[in-house]
Structure 1
Amino acid sequence: MQIKMFMWEWQHIFQPAVFRLLVESLRILKIQASPKTFVIGIPINEDANNVYFHPENCGYTPQQFQAVFSMVNDAVSNDPRQGFFITAPLNLERKSSLYLETLQKIVENIVNENDSTGEFISFCSFPVEMNNHWIMTVIQIEKEVFYEQYQLTRAIHEVHAMRYYRIDRSFLEAIIWVILSESQRELQMPSKERYDSFAEPERILEDAASNLLSSIRLHIDDMGGDLLELANAISAERYEGLGSKGRLVICRRDNPHILIKINLKVPISINNYRGIRKLLEVSSETMALLCDAGSVWGLGLPLGTYDLCNEDLFEIKFTEHYTWELVHAEHVMLIVKYRKPRLPRKRFDKEQFCDHVNRLFNVHEEALGILIEAVESAVEQRHGTMLVITTEADQESERLSAQSTVITPTPVSRELISHVSSVDGAILISPDGIVYSFGVILDGLFSKNGDRTRGARYNSAIRYIDGKNNSNIKCLAIIVSEDGYVNIYPTLKQRISRTLIDELIEDLEKHADLSKRFDGDGARATLLNLEKLSFYLLKKDIERVNTAKNIAVDRMNKHSLAEAMGRGMGCIFDQFNDFHVHEEMNHEYYLPINSCDSVMDEV
């Protein structure tokens, strides 16, 4: 069997590799999305009938690109930049570059305009010549997911009328462009068979964070320094044993929306990390270091007159050792912890909290509302605390009375939490919302679940909760950090619909049915989805899944071999390990039958 739309011999390896890299990057960030990737080949001889795609069933046809060449040529001929250089060789080179730049933009526009669902936004890589085609990688992600992230509005940085280029508006957008750039670079490498794994997701995230900070710098000063390295270095520095906490405002010196309290006679270069770290001790909620992306030149604070549409005033907020946030107009755009960039998350995920409380304690709606208020009150205090919900709150208060303040059982309230949370230690609460003690110093033995990158409060909760769970006592710890973020322990695995598992197994068995036409890409997608959800397979599912998997993989590999032989291409066989039962898995990890919740967005 031959590939009808043949562009180059490794196209069937390249496109899945880009998809896996994108999916893994989104998984690390816990973004629930169903992205798509495909490769488009625009013929160099401008024959619109030979516009090719991989996979061929990507949802687009050559007919939708019939006008692409006339559109590109018209745009290039009317671009004032084409005659910018005087010498003929430079003009020829510039016209070639303009052609490809314009081709990229117009193809991206056509892909977006012809999205049959209207639900996706598409991004297209810069063209790379491959045999007889200009090859471009396309990444598609749901508009709802993309625009859910806070983003700036300015997408172009203009150096002068004849020179301008794209800049990133959000961390997610920066990630997409880094992956597209990596795909472009890999296409230009001589050894194309390495496509199966051409970049590490964590490096993609680091490069994306660097690009986003570089874009932020361009909002302030073209000649500024490396803001990412500055923030990482400052957050890592200690001053007299203390971790970094404070504010660094990034703006021009003439920004009218800054109140300058102190001007430094000699500005401190942003490469002088220790000097800036020492000065950071002066900053507070009412005082910040002022930086123009090249040096720290003063101290002051933003005024309430700033218009976020200006996009020329940002803040790097150091929250704890090795942790900082990029903020614009009170919107957190990026969080970096131990040099690992992440998207900001909700300070308090109510849905997760309600799910955990109901699964552990099965409380009624009124009690759940009371517990939610308790956590919200703790978040508002911004000094860090811990709530422990347990069925043994009364008994535990008595047992730990020597290391806590025991009170007459009192219904929880915002006012009560606001007062007692100011004392170091945990607050013991029963599932029906009764407080029994506060300032509790929790006990507990060593736990393998400890995390040395987290603080004493978090690890104390782990030791205590693990000890109680080993005794079959139901407990839930809510750890509130000083910056108001909530962590729940233990974190229960998300519940999913059993129907989803049944549909995937049935779909896999269809791909294993020798009497039916085989869809290799569909079989691969089903197996990847089953791998992601393998925890939710019951013992009765395993034999069915492995039997169908073995047949489907055999068909996939025969299918790939036939394609390779038909074109003289290289071939890499698919491999999927056998599925196994997870000891923890039981029916409690399935949503109730009448639940409308689903994790389809994750698959």
Structure 2
Amino acid sequence: MRAFAAFRPVRFRLPMWDYQSLFRVSAQLLAEGVFNLLDRNLRPEVFLLGMAAAREADEPGAVRIEPATHRYSPENFAQVKARAASLEPDAAREVVYHLHADDQDRFEKMRWYGLVRRAAELELQTLSAAEGRASFCSLPVLLNGTLVMVVLQLAADTFHSYYALNEDATSESRPPSLLMAVVREVLLECSKALRGSDAEEGRPLLDRDYNELLRSAGRRFMHAPAGGNHGLYDACNGVAALRHEGIEGRGTMLLARRNHAAVVPVLTLETPVPLRDHRSIRKLLEMSEGRTALMSDATNVFGLGYLVEPTDQAYEPLFTVHFTTHHNWELSHDGHVMMRVVSGTPRLPQGRIEEQYFTNTIRRMWPAMTDVTVQTLWELALKATTQPTGTILIVSEGAGYEAQRLSRQCFRVAPRFMTPSVLRLVTNIDGAVFINPHGTCFAIGAILDGLATEKGDSSRGSRYNSALRYIESSRFPALAVVVSEDGWIDLLPSVKK
């Protein structure tokens, strides 16, 4: 293999190339911008790993890390190439013949790069396990005689808290979750920028729009429920964007091959309707009701049917597309929502606030609070998260004072103990609800004020940012439960889980 001519491992000095620090910072900003749109608790971290291009194992001094002050040392990755060689299959590999020698070299090079990436990820698993980080690597890019990999790390507890498909049912082209699809899309974007670094005076560009990257990841993720077919993501967007006789689309589509044993047919179309025919699919969607859904093989809709009960011997978990409101839909598998698409852009399912996380936050702010009061506030927070149009619940020691201060921009009420049923009623109007830590309500429909803060997020709506400004500048200890109209739920101030 000409691409891997043997030569002595050499020690090379930083920098790996002129703009490595600039690129690493750009990659960090890209990762933060994308993953913060999904879940701020993912806390992405990016660093670069470089090693000599020769296939032989590196000496520790031949491994470089950017930044040089990173907590990992070159010695941690000295055995990556040896480990990659050990991953070579013992059995004879399938022989792939190429017409041109260059194509054969390229094939062997990419196969080796894949082994190096896998070996680096295995080394990182050992290193980052105690840190609570999940680590992922890009394919190596040959740059100035150095194999450069982009390493992305995320908070492992948050990453693994989202439902994912079994690895046996997925592949490189069919990621097991939206999060994994986004990881691959971010790393692929970084690799593309590295390969193009010879242009623009060697400066790799990472200027892709965050939401556009998420849409590409959504398309990639939909390859799994579509059985590898392309176009399902955009077809669902097209259907969700249409109205039928002025009514927004609501209904369900079951994804399964024709004559699936777990699907009971109710009605079969003599001529299947292609999914690209969005208007016809939107019209047919009106027939779905309850358990009965449109049946589709991700290419055509061929009728109506329903999934058998889990107790049935023929039962098998299937993918379901649920059209919720105009321009919005979600993908589920085995009862777990895996992706919500809001106005054409995918988001992670934002479930209810975790009780332990809520309790820890309350205990941190009010250590002397009784268990009964904590439970009361938890029940109110849960009720707030069910408000479909969004709301803000403020728990503040100065709730009474704040109701008086904001009297011209709220509805003050006679102090009363707040119950979940009453909270459901008062959150039907815009504005925040003020209660004190004992659950007594003083104001509803409040328009919050506060000083601008650098923690604000322009990608979020006014409800989130106004609550953040208020909490950051409040003179009293205060907690906000923020429910956005698009389904996002935030607890402010946020603390580590």
Scaled to the shorter chain, the TM-score interval is 0.7 to 0.9
| Matching of residue 52 in structure 1 with residue 28 in structure 2 | no
Please state whether the residue corresponding to 1:185 is helix, strand or coil.
Answer: helix
| Matching of residue 64 in structure 1 with residue 45 in structure 2 | no
Out of 165, 168, 191, the residue aligned to residue 152 of structure 1 is 165
Cα contact 1:156–1:166 (8 A) shared by 2 = no
**AA matched with 1:94:** F
- Could you say which residue in structure 1 is the equivalent of 2:351? 346
Cα contact 1:13–1:196 (8 A) shared by 2 = no
**AA matched with 1:24:** G
CA change 1:169–1:370 in 2 (3 A) is same
| Matching of residue 297 in structure 1 with residue 302 in structure 2 | yes
Please report how far the alpha carbon of residue 298 of structure 1 lies from its aligned counterpart in structure 2 after TM superposition.
1.4
Distance of 1:321 and 1:116 partners within structure 2: 42
Distance of 1:112 and 1:433 partners within structure 2: 45
Compare the two structures and name the one with the higher helix fraction. 1
Please report how far the alpha carbon of residue 95 of structure 1 lies from its aligned counterpart in structure 2 after TM superposition.
1.9
Please report how far the alpha carbon of residue 364 of structure 1 lies from its aligned counterpart in structure 2 after TM superposition.
8.9
**AA matched with 2:220:** N
Please report how far the alpha carbon of residue 140 of structure 1 lies from its aligned counterpart in structure 2 after TM superposition.
1.0
Please state whether the residue corresponding to 1:491 is helix, strand or coil.
Answer: helix
- Could you say which residue in structure 2 is the equivalent of 1:172? 179
Distance of 2:156 and 2:392 partners within structure 1: 37
Out of 118, 132, 152, the residue aligned to residue 119 of structure 1 is 132
**Correspondences of 1:297-446 after superposition (within 5 Å):** 297-305=302-310, 313-347=318-352, 373=379
| Matching of residue 138 in structure 1 with residue 151 in structure 2 | yes
Render the CA deviation track for 1:448-476: whole Å, top value 9, x for unaligned: xxxxxxxxxxxxx9xx533xx69xxxxxx
- Could you say which residue in structure 2 is the equivalent of 1:216? 225
Distance of 1:168 and 1:494 partners within structure 2: 40
Distance of 2:240 and 2:295 partners within structure 1: 17
Please report how far the alpha carbon of residue 26 of structure 1 lies from its aligned counterpart in structure 2 after TM superposition.
2.0
- Could you say which residue in structure 1 is the equivalent of 2:44? 35
Out of 12, 15, 20, the residue aligned to residue 29 of structure 2 is 20
Please report how far the alpha carbon of residue 264 of structure 1 lies from its aligned counterpart in structure 2 after TM superposition.
1.3
- Could you say which residue in structure 2 is the equivalent of 1:491? 467
Please report how far the alpha carbon of residue 225 of structure 1 lies from its aligned counterpart in structure 2 after TM superposition.
3.8
Which of the two has higher C-alpha Rg? Answer: 1
Q: How many residues align?
A: 433
| Matching of residue 235 in structure 1 with residue 240 in structure 2 | yes
Please state whether the residue corresponding to 2:136 is helix, strand or coil.
Answer: strand
**AA matched with 1:115:** S
- Could you say which residue in structure 2 is the equivalent of 1:262? 267
Please report how far the alpha carbon of residue 282 of structure 1 lies from its aligned counterpart in structure 2 after TM superposition.
0.9
Give percent identity, aligned residues only. 22
Cα contact 1:104–1:126 (8 A) shared by 2 = yes
Structure 1, unaligned runs of 5 or more? 159-164, 393-408, 436-460, 471-486, 496-535, 537-584, 592-596
CA change 1:429–1:43 in 2 (3 A) is closer
Please report how far the alpha carbon of residue 84 of structure 1 lies from its aligned counterpart in structure 2 after TM superposition.
2.9
CA change 1:365–1:68 in 2 (3 A) is closer
Please state whether the residue corresponding to 1:341 is helix, strand or coil.
Answer: strand
Cα contact 2:173–2:223 (8 A) shared by 1 = no
Distance of 1:18 and 1:387 partners within structure 2: 34
**Correspondences of 1:562-577 after superposition (within 5 Å):** none
CA change 1:102–1:79 in 2 (3 A) is farther
Cα contact 2:359–2:374 (8 A) shared by 1 = no
Please state whether the residue corresponding to 1:99 is helix, strand or coil.
Answer: helix
Distance of 1:285 and 1:379 partners within structure 2: 24
Distance of 1:112 and 1:387 partners within structure 2: 40
Please state whether the residue corresponding to 2:243 is helix, strand or coil.
Answer: coil
**AA matched with 1:37:** V
- Could you say which residue in structure 1 is the equivalent of 2:486? none
| Matching of residue 97 in structure 1 with residue 110 in structure 2 | yes
Please report how far the alpha carbon of residue 179 of structure 1 lies from its aligned counterpart in structure 2 after TM superposition.
0.8
**AA matched with 2:215:** E
CA change 1:66–1:488 in 2 (3 A) is closer
**Correspondences of 1:280-291 after superposition (within 5 Å):** 280-291=285-296
- Could you say which residue in structure 1 is the equivalent of 2:16? 7
Cα contact 1:335–1:342 (8 A) shared by 2 = yes
Please state whether the residue corresponding to 1:112 is helix, strand or coil.
Answer: helix
CA change 1:200–1:79 in 2 (3 A) is farther
Distance of 1:342 and 1:19 partners within structure 2: 20
Cα contact 2:189–2:206 (8 A) shared by 1 = no
Please report how far the alpha carbon of residue 85 of structure 1 lies from its aligned counterpart in structure 2 after TM superposition.
2.4
Please state whether the residue corresponding to 2:69 is helix, strand or coil.
Answer: coil
Render the CA deviation track for 1:542-562: whole Å, top value 9, x for unaligned: xxxxxxxxxxxxxxxxxxxxx
CA change 1:38–1:155 in 2 (3 A) is farther
Render the CA deviation track for 1:99-121: whole Å, top value 9, x for unaligned: 12212211221222233734212
Please report how far the alpha carbon of residue 173 of structure 1 lies from its aligned counterpart in structure 2 after TM superposition.
1.6
Out of 465, 489, 495, the residue aligned to residue 446 of structure 2 is 465
Please state whether the residue corresponding to 1:114 is helix, strand or coil.
Answer: helix
Render the CA deviation track for 1:394-435: whole Å, top value 9, x for unaligned: xxxxxxxxxxxxxxx998767x679x96xx989x99978799
Render the CA deviation track for 1:113-138: whole Å, top value 9, x for unaligned: 23373421211101111011111101
**AA matched with 2:331:** L
**AA matched with 1:209:** G
Please state whether the residue corresponding to 2:252 is helix, strand or coil.
Answer: strand
Please state whether the residue corresponding to 1:24 is helix, strand or coil.
Answer: helix
Render the CA deviation track for 1:6-53: whole Å, top value 9, x for unaligned: 211111111111111111112222422333211111211236121211
- Could you say which residue in structure 2 is the equivalent of 1:184? 191
Please state whether the residue corresponding to 2:248 is helix, strand or coil.
Answer: coil
Please state whether the residue corresponding to 2:247 is helix, strand or coil.
Answer: coil
CA change 1:16–1:166 in 2 (3 A) is same
Cα contact 2:159–2:179 (8 A) shared by 1 = yes
Render the CA deviation track for 1:28-82: whole Å, top value 9, x for unaligned: 2242233321111121123612121111233333333333334434544746445
**Correspondences of 1:549-568 after superposition (within 5 Å):** none
**AA matched with 1:61:** S
TM-score (normalizing by structure 1): 0.61
CA change 1:118–1:27 in 2 (3 A) is closer
Render the CA deviation track for 1:256-314: whole Å, top value 9, x for unaligned: 2222211111111010100000011111223111111111111112222289xx98611
Cα contact 2:381–2:393 (8 A) shared by 1 = no
CA change 1:62–1:298 in 2 (3 A) is same
Cα contact 2:262–2:316 (8 A) shared by 1 = no
Q: CA RMSD in A?
A: 4.5
Please state whether the residue corresponding to 1:148 is helix, strand or coil.
Answer: coil
Please report how far the alpha carbon of residue 329 of structure 1 lies from its aligned counterpart in structure 2 after TM superposition.
1.4
Please state whether the residue corresponding to 2:165 is helix, strand or coil.
Answer: coil
Distance of 1:197 and 1:388 partners within structure 2: 39
CA change 1:311–1:230 in 2 (3 A) is farther
Render the CA deviation track for 1:350-405: whole Å, top value 9, x for unaligned: 7779989x99xxx998677557546756878x99898999979xxxxxxxxxxxxx
Out of 465, 476, 492, the residue aligned to residue 588 of structure 1 is 476
Cα contact 2:50–2:147 (8 A) shared by 1 = yes
TM-score (normalizing by structure 2): 0.72
